[in-house]
Structure 1
Amino acid sequence: VGFPVFKLFSKDVIYDYPIRAGRQSADITAWLEKKMESPFVYLDTKEDFDAFTDKFRTVVGAFYHENSARYRSYEATAHTFKDELNMEFGLITNQGFAADVGMMDSEISVFRKDLDKVVYEGAPTFDDVSTFVLKNWVPDIFEYTNRDSEKIGLLQEKGVVKNLVMMFIDKDADYFDEKMKMYSEVRQEFASSDTLFAFEDCKRNGRNTFLQRHCNLVQTDCPAIRGIYIQDLDFPKVKPDPLTKANVRNLVNGLNTKTLEPYWRSANVPQKKDELDNGVRVLVSLNFDDVVGDQEKHVFVMFYTPWCAQCKKLMPDWEKLAEDYKDNEDIIIAKIDMIDNEVKEFATLYSWPVFKLFPKYKDTFVNFKENKTYEELKSFINIYALFDDTNEVLKRSLDEMNDEDRDITEKIILGMKVELPKEEVERFAPAEELGEGRPRQKVLTKEEWEEFDRLQDEVMEPHTHDDDEDPHEH
Structure 2
Amino acid sequence: MLAKYLFIFSLALGAWAAEEDVLELTDSDFTATLDTYDNTLVMFYAPWCGHCKHLKPEFAKAAGELKRNDPPITLAKVDCTEGGKDTCGKYSVSGYPTLKIFSKSEMVSDYNGPREADGIVKYMKSQVGPASKELKGEECHKNFLETNEVSYILYTEKEDSPLAKAFHSVAKKLREKARFAHTIAKSLVEKDGFKNKIVLYRPKILQNKFEESILHYDGESNIADISDFVTKNYFGLAGIRTRDNAQSFVNPLVVAYYSVDYVKNPKGTNYWRNRILKASKNYKSFNYAISNKDDFQHELNDFGVTFAKDDKPVILARDEKNQKYVMKDEFNVENFEKFLKDFDSNVLEPFIKSEPIPEDNSAPVKVVVGKNYDDIITNSDKDVLIEFYAPWCGHCKKLAPIFDELGEKLVDENVVIAKFDATANDVPAQFEVRGFPTLYWIPKDAKSSPVKYEGGRELDDFVKYIAKHSSDGLKNFDRKGNAKVAKEEL
The normalised TM-score by structure 1 is 0.59
| Matched ranges for 1:146-185 at <5 A | 146-152=243-249, 163-171=252-260, 181-185=271-275
Aligned partners of 2:240, 2:224: CA distance in 1, in Å?
25
Equivalent position of 2:294 in the other structure: 203
Aligned counterpart for 2:421 among listed residues 331, 337, 340? 337
Aligned counterpart for 1:89 among listed residues 180, 185, 204? 180
1:70 CA displacement? 0.8
Aligned counterpart for 1:373 among listed residues 454, 457, 460? 457
8 Å Cα contact 1:35/1:79 also seen in 2? no
Aligned partners of 1:65, 1:180: CA distance in 2, in Å?
40
Check if 1:135 corresponds to 2:135.
no
Shift in alpha-carbon separation, 1:342–1:136, aligned structure 2, 3 A:
closer
Equivalent position of 2:358 in the other structure: 270
Aligned partners of 1:292, 1:116: CA distance in 2, in Å?
51
Aligned counterpart for 2:142 among listed residues 50, 60, 65? 50
Aligned counterpart for 1:75 among listed residues 168, 186, 194? 168
Aligned counterpart for 2:130 among listed residues 24, 35, 38? 38
8 Å Cα contact 2:199/2:214 also seen in 1? yes
Classify the secondary structure of the residue corresponding to 1:60: strand
8 Å Cα contact 1:301/1:355 also seen in 2? yes
| Matched ranges for 1:308-327 at <5 A | 312-323=394-405, 325-326=407-408
Check if 1:61 corresponds to 2:145.
no
Classify the secondary structure of the residue corresponding to 1:26: strand
By percentage of residues, which structure has more helix?
1
The normalised TM-score by structure 2 is 0.58
Shift in alpha-carbon separation, 1:80–1:293, aligned structure 2, 3 A:
closer
8 Å Cα contact 1:301/1:356 also seen in 2? yes
8 Å Cα contact 2:137/2:187 also seen in 1? no
8 Å Cα contact 2:406/2:462 also seen in 1? no
Equivalent position of 2:108 in the other structure: 26
Aligned partners of 1:294, 1:191: CA distance in 2, in Å?
41
Shift in alpha-carbon separation, 1:124–1:253, aligned structure 2, 3 A:
farther
Classify the secondary structure of the residue corresponding to 1:238: strand
8 Å Cα contact 2:157/2:189 also seen in 1? no
1:92 CA displacement? 1.8
1:348 CA displacement? 4.4
Shift in alpha-carbon separation, 1:59–1:178, aligned structure 2, 3 A:
closer
Aligned counterpart for 2:439 among listed residues 319, 341, 355? 355
Aligned partners of 2:184, 2:374: CA distance in 1, in Å?
66
Unaligned runs of 5+ in 2: 1-97, 102-106, 113-122, 483-489
Equivalent position of 1:225 in the other structure: 315
Shift in alpha-carbon separation, 1:315–1:23, aligned structure 2, 3 A:
farther
Identity of aligned residues (%): 18
Aligned partners of 2:446, 2:198: CA distance in 1, in Å?
57
Aligned partners of 1:51, 1:121: CA distance in 2, in Å?
24
Aligned partners of 2:378, 2:155: CA distance in 1, in Å?
66
Classify the secondary structure of the residue corresponding to 2:432: coil
Unaligned runs of 5+ in 1: 1-20, 157-161, 392-415, 426-461, 463-474
1:104 CA displacement? 4.0
Shift in alpha-carbon separation, 1:293–1:194, aligned structure 2, 3 A:
closer
Give the greater-gyration-radius structure (CA): 1
1:306 CA displacement? 5.4
Aligned partners of 1:300, 1:136: CA distance in 2, in Å?
46
Aligned partners of 1:318, 1:218: CA distance in 2, in Å?
31
